[in-house]
Each structure stands twice: as structure tokens, then as C-alpha cells.
Structure 1
């Protein structure tokens, strides 16, 4: 099992300690690119794919741990798009 496959499995189990860097790595491996609209975007980040629906979310702060609802929403979207 590759590192990305392990990361996908971990993500799908909806862990309470899934970090922003892990999500970023996961989405990039699935063909997404991170897009931040400059200084005025604040913590709002968009992940864009040419083939799949865009993902918009707030980067968690002050801790890098994603909220439970964020993981669930992204998981649903990735399943709907047939990526996981």
C-alpha cells in the first residue's frame, strides 16, 4: 500500500487529528491545485481541478487540525466525484 493509499484510508476513517498538510497532500495527489486569492482572501482556500468540482474551505487556525464537518463534506464530495 502506497503512502497516498494509506493517507486516503486514514482520511476516509474520519480521524479527529487529520491535519491541513495531510489534506493538501491528498487533494494534490487527486489532481487538485491549491488556489488562494491573494492577501485579502484570509484563511479561505480553494482547491481547483479541471476534471472535478472545486473545493472551498477555511484553513483551520490556530491549530492545523481539520474540523469534523470539513472532513465529512470533503469526503462526500470526493465520493460523489468518484475519487475515493
Structure 2
């Protein structure tokens, strides 16, 4: 949504397509195919869930100065950079 707010012409087009295609599923799919790449990119840049699936550390290692022991479950927050 942040990306759409910065590009008002895309926001307007996405809104028009959504309003015009409300009703049948086929109509919605045919009209949103133009917006699919934009939606996919927006979700890639701003995922709805901040954490990836947990990963199990296979070998003791150091991450950013912290020791992480073998078999520790690590969760990665993709919103932190």
C-alpha cells in the first residue's frame, strides 16, 4: 500500500479495476491480471508477515557478534534491514 500511495496513478487504476470487477470471480481474474505484477512486487517489498519460517542452526556459529548454539531455532525478521 505504501508503494501505491507514492504512485497515485497506480492506486487509481487498482481501485478502478477492483470496483469494476466486483461480482464474478472470472471477471475479477481477467481484470486483475494487469495489476498482478504490481501486487506481487508490493508484497515482496512489504510482506504481510514479518517473520520467515524458523530455521534450525546446524553448526554453532556467530551472527552479528552473538554466539548461536547448534540446534537453536532462529527466526528471521524480514522487516529489519
Same fold (TM over 0.5): no
Task: Indicate the TM-score class for this superposition, using the shorter chain for normalisation.
Answer: under 0.3
Higher RCO, 1 or 2 (CA under 8 Å, sep at least 6)?
1
- Structure possessing the higher radius of gyration over alpha carbons: 2
TM-score by length of 1: 0.26
TM-score by length of 2: 0.27
